[in-house]
Every structure is written in C-alpha cells, then in structure tokens.
Amino acid sequence: MTPTAIQATFDTMRAGTTARRVSFGLTERRAALDRLAAAVRANEATLVQALSDDLGRPMAETILIDYLPVLQEIRHARRHLRSWMRPRRVAPTLATFGASARILPQPRGVCLIIAPWNVPFALCLSPLVSALAAGNAAILKPSELTPATSALIARMIADTFPPDLVTVVEGDKDVAQHLLALPFDHIFFTGSPAVGKIVMAAAARNLTSVTLELGGKSPTIIGPDAELKQAADWITFGKFVNAGQVCISPDHLFVHDSVKDRFVTLLRARIARAYGKGPASPHLARIVSDRHAARLTDLLADARQKGAQVTLDQGADGRAIGPALIEAITPEMRLDQEEIFGPLLPILPYSDLGQVIDRINARDKPLALYIFDRDQTRIDRILTETTSGGVGINLTVVHYTQSNLPFGGVNTSGLGSSHGHHGFRAFSHERAVLRNRFLALPILFAPYGARTLRLIGLIKRILG
C-alpha cells in the first residue's frame, strides 16, 4: 500500500469514529468477533503451511502458540463483552455526596497494531480482538520477516472486514515509519525494546497512547527443593518452543549447587527425547532469517572464546540451530548481556539466593521470571524482592494464555497490559461521568462568610 493509500485509509477510518461510537455496539462487536473466529478456523491449514514456510514451525507448535490463543481470546472476549461495556458505578466521596458517579468505557478511535515476526499470527490478531471488542477501527502491520503469514493475514482480513474497520498494511520499516507519523488514537506494538523506544518517540509527537509488549532476559531460578523432572520438562518446552524465539522464554537458568548436576542430566535427557541429537529435528522450528541465525552462532562463538563450557551443542545447519547448554558464563560474554532469543541456554550455579536476587535487580526488569521450588518461603522472598512483568511458578510460558491475567512488562520490558479485560481497557478511554442530584456543595460557594468558614473547619476535622 502506498503512503497516499495509507493516508486515505486512515482518513476514512477517522471520519467514521463518531458514527462507530453510536452504531458499533454490543451486537456489532460480537458479530465482528464471530467473523474473525470463522476466518481463523477457515484458514487453519493455510496458517500451518505459512508458518512452516516462514519459520519451519511444526504443525503442533503453530496450533499451540499461534492458532488456539487467538480463538481463546475471541471466546473470552465474546463471553464477557457485555459486562466489560457496561458503565461502572463508583461510590461517592465526601465532596461529591449527592452526585452519581460512573465510568463509561468508550472506543479510543483508530488504532495501529504492529506485530512481530516470532509469533506473527497470534501477536497480530489477539490485539485486534481487544481493539474490536472495545469498538475501535484498526490498521494492522504484520512483520515483513514472515511474508507467508503476513500475506495470509492480509487476505484473511480483506475477506472478513470492510476496509474502514480493519485494514492490513504490509511492508518494511519505511512503511512502519509512515504509519507511525499518523495521529492514531492508540498504538499497540510488540517487538524489541530498541524499536519500542522508536515507537514511543513517534507516538509522543502526536501525544498518542501506547501499549508496548517488549522483551528482555527472563531469568529462571531452580531452588534446592525443586521437582527436577518437572523443571526439566517445563524448561525444555518453554526454552525451545519456536526454537527459543519467544519473548517470554527462559533466557538463563540459576540452578542451586546442590541439584545442578542432577538437573543438567535430566535436562539433557529431556532435550534428547524432544529433539533428538542434531539441529534438523522435525519438532524444532527454524530461525527466522540467516541474519538472526548468524547472530546466534556468533553469540555461542563469543562465549566459547571467552571461556564458556558448552556442555551440549547440537550444532547448526543454516537456519536450523539445535539446543545448546552453556556453563561457566562470565559477565563480559555477549550471551550474558543480550537477550538470546534462540535455543541457547546458559546455566549459572548458585548457593546464595540473595546474590541471585541482587543480580536480577541489577538488570532491566524482565518480561517474565520463572521459579521452580516447593519451599513457599523462598518463593515469597523472590516475589517480594524482585520485579518482572509476570511470574510462572513451576511452569514456563503458559501464563501468557491466561486471559484473566494481565500480560505486560515493566519499563524496558513493556508498558501497559493486554489480554482479556486488560486488553479491552487498553483500547478504551475510561470516561468519568459525574451527575448532580442533590449536591450540598453550593453552600460553600462565595461569598465566603462566617458560616462557610465554620463548615470548612468541620470538613477539615472530619478529614483529620
């Protein structure tokens, strides 16, 4: 789509903003969600093929992380939409006793959703579910790094919605920059912290609100009382699903000295059972591009050169990179500094939990933190003394699928929340409405005589 066409589409959507507030009610929003669900179901096989082409993704993974989450989000939104849309009454305060107060959720207007390449279908359409549920129009910008999935989304949306309600704009970063220059009413971006800063700076020029779903080095702590087989199962899944190209995958493991050797043995066996012994496993996705594959092989080479011990290396063949376990990590290694976003897993032994907590707190706040332990005191200490977007206890990754929980980061790992009611609120303006019924406040209006001062003194005593 040309810049002129983008501008025309945006202008058409913006012109319909007022009309949509009136005409796009509960019935129409549910119908839009139903149309989206039907389109997703009709394109299941095409989606599986597209993500096989783009990421070498196994069918089961595509269904689990790109297909089902969208249908779950639609089902949840449709079920709860009536209550979400209903104005919420709030209690009066002392100053407003005699007035009724309510919060009226209204659509923000025309929204921009910029999706990433790693989970390109769900992370484009799940925010759209929230945008439609909240009554907005939306322009979707899929990632150019997954062209087959991007083309599928464009065809599917064009066949499902009128262009003044939902439109897909395909293209590279130049197209994204043109979109970001437009005065959208809300921008929902999923991607890296570096690009998130660019998005936020562009939004600031138009004072546009943003939701940023970013990333970071999500740590995993394995305590001395952890159920080690359970930990090995969940970490193998969470780290190597989509070949580690997941923003909430475990980035590195802190493993207590007393269980490290047993845990690593179990982890190696679980990896072998899941993916075999080479990089070309049919159960392991491929890296998205040659450039990203080269970045990962460079990270591993840098760690080796600086003294790391690679205790498991299933090798690489182009964009196929097998799981690797790395020990003897030091701070000067790039592996310890950068978000890995691939199937390389550093293992760091520890004896003092306090030092682990200090190390986590010395870094940017992660999008996710995982704890494997059965000791509630230690779990509570970690929860109390650290900050992260979300936490998984004795599991990884699947907290993303809990529609009743907010999903989002903190500072460099994100801004704002999504999913379920939290996503609805992100795409809504919560309008405050106060209606006078029998407010007594006028007795305090000027002129300020002795009676007014006595009443003010009484209010001061009541308020302490």
Residues recognised as catalytic: 213, 247
Whole-angstrom Cα distance, residue 343 to residue 306?
20
> Which long-range CB contacts under 8 A does 298-303 form with residues at least 24 apart?
298/334, 299/334, 299/335, 299/338, 299/340, 299/342, 299/344, 300/324, 300/326, 300/335, 300/344, 302/333, 302/334, 302/335, 303/329, 303/333, 303/334, 303/335, 303/346
Nearest to 145 by CA among 199, 192, 197, 193: 192
Structure tokens of 208? 């546009």
Whole-angstrom Cα distance, residue 302 to residue 319?
19
Alpha-helical (H) ranges within 328-370 are: 334-337, 353-361
Work out the angle between the directed axes of helices 26-42 and 44-55 (0-180°, nearest 10): 60
3-state secondary structure of 81: helix
CB contact at 8 A, 352 and 381: no
**Could you tell me which residues come within 8 angstroms of residue 260 by beta carbon, excluding any fewer than 6 positions away?**
347, 349
CA distances 448 to 16, 357, 452, 457, 461, Å, are 49, 58, 6, 13, 19
Instruction: Let me know if 380 is exposed, middle or buried by CB neighbors in 10 A (0-12, 13-18, 19+).
Output: exposed
First to last CA, the chain: 62
Nearest to 187 by CA among 150, 147, 136: 136
Whole-angstrom Cα distance, residue 413 to residue 389?
7
Instruction: Let me know if 428 is exposed, middle or buried by CB neighbors in 10 A (0-12, 13-18, 19+).
Output: buried
Whole-angstrom Cα distance, residue 34 to residue 82?
15
Handedness of CA 36, 42, 44, 49 (dihedral sign): negative
CB contact at 8 A, 146 and 163: no
Q: In what order do the strands lie in the sheet with 88-90?
A: 88-90, 99-107, 428-436
Instruction: Let me know if 351 is exposed, middle or buried by CB neighbors in 10 A (0-12, 13-18, 19+).
Output: exposed
Whole-angstrom Cα distance, residue 90 to residue 461?
25
Phi, psi of 390 (to 5 degrees): -145, 170
